[in-house]
Amino acid sequence: MSSIAVIGLGAMGKPIARNLLRAGHDVVVWNRSDGPADELAAVGARRAVSVAEAMQAPVVFSVLSDDRAVAETFIDSGVLAQTPAGTVHVNLATVSTGLAGRVGAAHAEHGVGYVAAPVFGRVPVAEAGALNVLAAGEDALLDRVQPFFDVIGSRTWRLGDRPEQANIVKILGNYLIACAIQSLGEAVSVAEGAGVDSGQLVELLTSTLFPGPVYTGYGSMIAERRYQPAGFSTVLGRKDLHLALDAATDQGIPLPIGQLLRAVFDEAIADGRGADDWAAIAEQQPR
């Protein structure tokens, strides 16, 4: 039995921690609110009273929401100075490449290993332990945490020795999902205007031209106007879109579709859809 901590028990963190428990690992958990930690403690997890206590585990997974949460928790707090040298911190959050570099340097300064491992897959995929793990970091660190990746995911993609390499791939993947949602919304709008059943349109397209989870899953949500519960909110979608735009700007590469999507996300949030699934941006299309 190996010991591992999970920091952040939101929609993704909780099933990840639960699967590690089911695999027989000694799991320490920490969360800002008590409810998720209490739930996991009831099935065998050990609660940490602070992030610093959780960081005493030899391997730590964190599943936080954005750059600010990661920076506040691991850089601004000074917690790394209290973390044993040799600990490996695996950051599963989708963060900017700039922050990935900062966090990696801060960890190295204190002798703490750092791996970036954002994931592809919504909550049901996490619950099934079938995530795709996008991992980057030193080979020795990746080898050390691979047994844990095997519990939470169906495949680990090793993308390089610099953590930001995993983050840019995740950012670009989410950018392409947003593009697909936008194009699906446009197609459904035009088809409905012509009197075509949107459910049949989506079924046709996803069983012939565009098979796969993105078009199938989001196409069905758009056709059914089903945006709750949110697997990934519009607010988080806008955050990841801005990460893609920032990364492209850093390289001097324009993203014209990204600029269009920026306006669409802003309008959706202004219309009260911030807490809806990000598929709700399709509702910004004219009906």
- Give the active site residue among 18, 170, 238, 273: 170
Each residue of 5-29: b (16+ CB within 10 Å) or e? bbbbbbbbbbbbbbbbbebebebbb
Whose tokens are 């879109």? That residue is 241
Helix axes 198-207, 163-193, angle to 10 degrees: 130
Helix, strand and coil percent figures for the chain, each rounded to 5: 55, 15, 30
Q: What does the block give as tokens for 246?
A: 């920032």
Dihedral pair phi/psi, residue 64, rounded to 5°: -105, 170
Asked about 170 being catalytic, the answer comes back as yes
The CA distance from 111 to 26, in Å, is 24
Helix axes 234-250, 163-193, angle to 10 degrees: 120
Q: Which residues are catalytic?
A: 170
